[in-house]
Amino acid sequence: MPSLHPLFSGATSIALNTPDYYQAHPGLATYLAGFEPSLNVLQCMDAAREFISSYASPNGAGETPSSFRSSRVVIERLLLWAWIIKNKSVETLGYEEFREFIAFSSAPPSHWIGDVARHRFRWVEDVGYLANPAWRPFCKPIYDGGLRTQSMFELIVTYCASFYDFLINKRVCNINPARNFEKLTIQSLTVVSKPIDRGLTAWHVDEVLRVGTSLTCGRHERALFVVAIAKDGIHYLVEGLRGTQVVTTPAIFHTYLERYRLSRGLPRVPPACEMEPLLMTGHGRAGLTQRQIRNIVNELVHVTIQEMEDKGCASDVTAPLKSACMDSILLS
């Protein structure tokens, strides 16, 4: 199976004509030559570069707006997935295979995921752009990641649908397998016969609460409280809390609230005149960002997974919770 290799570089070089592009990226032509001729990788590469370059800065100053970066990431993943995983040319993919690509994007294998976002290529004087061996198509901010939100799903579908329309206009292919996917929701697609939210159930959340309650280090009291709040709407744990909102907690959450307040050195029950914020950073700043909340909860979920695995829980039991703790794969 061919190794992973970046295909597209910056906004300026991607618009070069074909001979100049490969001359500026020594090693890329050799990499592409390793695929079977039936995959038409060179034709797909040229079409993809033309499509992606249409999102580049019109002033040619090498700027990389978000639309260019996003289209580059999505199309690059599509091409590599088609060639390496399916051993098929991109223009021959059908509807069900595109569904497989969406599922793959929600849970890529570990060797497709880098620890952080890295440059695709590095410039070497008198040589050109050389592929960064540490680059991977996906990256993770904390844990392995997956397709977490409807907006990320729609982003992939939008760029792929536009790309296939582009290929149809160039008479490279006849059908657009990404069409009509924009009408679906992320929950309607599956990974290994499970919802893309990995089948997270109330039992999984109860396990997080059970493990969090048993901990005495005091490190996870904020996370325990947030998960307790989220339990009445499990999608909050999956999607992440959004913004600042007033939350009225049922009596069942009072235990967690009291634990959390005691961990901060506050009275169990807040006095009527108290001005203390509900959530604070570790440095005492009032309020938490959405990412901070996700990260805090992810730590506790990760501890829960470790305990479940130590007790011999089967992988199909921990998988939904493991995926729920994974933060989103950033579009690098």
Q: Which residues contact 293 (CB under 8 A, 6 or more apart)?
A: 226, 240, 241, 279
- Same domain? 190 vs 206: no
- Of 132, 161, 195, which marks where a domain is finished? 195
- Same domain? 44 vs 168: yes
Q: What is the mean pLDDT of residues 58-77?
A: 73
Report yes or no: 237 and 297 within 8 Å, Cβ to Cβ: yes
Higher pLDDT, 187 or 53: 53
pLDDT at 223 over 70: yes
- Same domain? 69 vs 183: yes
- Same domain? 171 vs 237: no
What is the CA angle 150-153-158, rounded to 5? Answer: 120
Q: What are phi and psi of 216, to 5 degrees?
A: -120, 5
| Residues across the chain | 332
Residue 64, judged by CB atoms within 10 A of its CB (0-12, 13-18, 19+), counts as middle
pLDDT at 299 over 70: yes
- Same domain? 168 vs 222: no
Question: For all residues of the chain together, what is the average pLDDT?
Answer: 77
What is the CA angle 271-292-277, rounded to 5? Answer: 15
Residue 19 lies in a domain: yes
Residue 46 lies in a domain: yes
Amino acid at site 147: L
- Same domain? 249 vs 180: no
Residue 273, judged by CB atoms within 10 A of its CB (0-12, 13-18, 19+), counts as exposed
- Same domain? 143 vs 116: yes
Extended beta strands in the chain, E state: 113-114, 121-124, 128-131, 138-139, 190-191, 194-195
pLDDT at 301 over 90: no
pLDDT at 140 over 80: no
- Encoded tokens for 191: 């990974």
Of residues 199, 8, 219, 213, the one with CA closest to residue 107: 199
Residue 49 lies in a domain: yes
Q: What is the mean pLDDT of residues 80-103?
A: 92
pTM metric for this prediction: 0.57
How does DSSP classify residue 13?
A: G
Q: Which residues contact 296 (CB under 8 A, 6 or more apart)?
A: 220, 222, 223, 226, 288
Above pLDDT 70, what percent of the chain?
A: 76
Q: Which residues of 213-244 are buried (b: 16+ CB within 10 A; e: fewer)?
A: eebeeeebbbbbbbbbbbbeebebbbbbbeee
Helices 66-80 and 150-169, interaxial angle, to 10°? 80
- Same domain? 166 vs 225: no
- Of 195, 217, 238, which marks where a domain is finished? 195
pLDDT at 61 over 50: no
- 67 pLDDT band (50/70/90 cuts)? confident
- Same domain? 191 vs 245: no
- Of 195, 221, 237, which marks where a domain is finished? 195
Which of 120-134, 213-227, 251-265 has maximum average pLDDT? 120-134
- Round to whole Å and give the CA distance between 191 and 326: 15
Residue 1 lies in a domain: no
* Residue 308 CA: distances (Å) to CA of 208, 220, 304, 315, 319: 10, 17, 6, 10, 11
Would the CA dihedral through 8, 13, 16, 18 be positive or negative? negative
* Residue 177 CA: distances (Å) to CA of 158, 259, 273, 280, 324: 12, 52, 59, 47, 29
Lowest mean pLDDT among 172-181, 256-265, 273-282: 273-282
Residue 8 lies in a domain: no
Q: What is the mean pLDDT of residues 89-99?
A: 90
Q: How many domains would you assign to the chain?
A: 2
- Same domain? 83 vs 126: yes
Residue 331 lies in a domain: no
Residue 6 lies in a domain: no
pLDDT at 183 over 70: no
- 203 pLDDT band (50/70/90 cuts)? low
Lowest mean pLDDT among 139-148, 202-211, 309-318: 139-148
- Same domain? 50 vs 174: yes
pLDDT at 300 over 80: yes
Residue-level pLDDT at 230:
66
- Round to whole Å and give the CA distance between 298 and 227: 10
- Same domain? 189 vs 237: no
Higher pLDDT, 117 or 236: 117
- 245 pLDDT band (50/70/90 cuts)? very low
Domain that holds residue 61: 13-195
Residue 24 lies in a domain: yes
pLDDT tens for 1-55 read 678 999 998 888 888 999 999 999 999 999 999 999 999 999 999 999 999 998 8
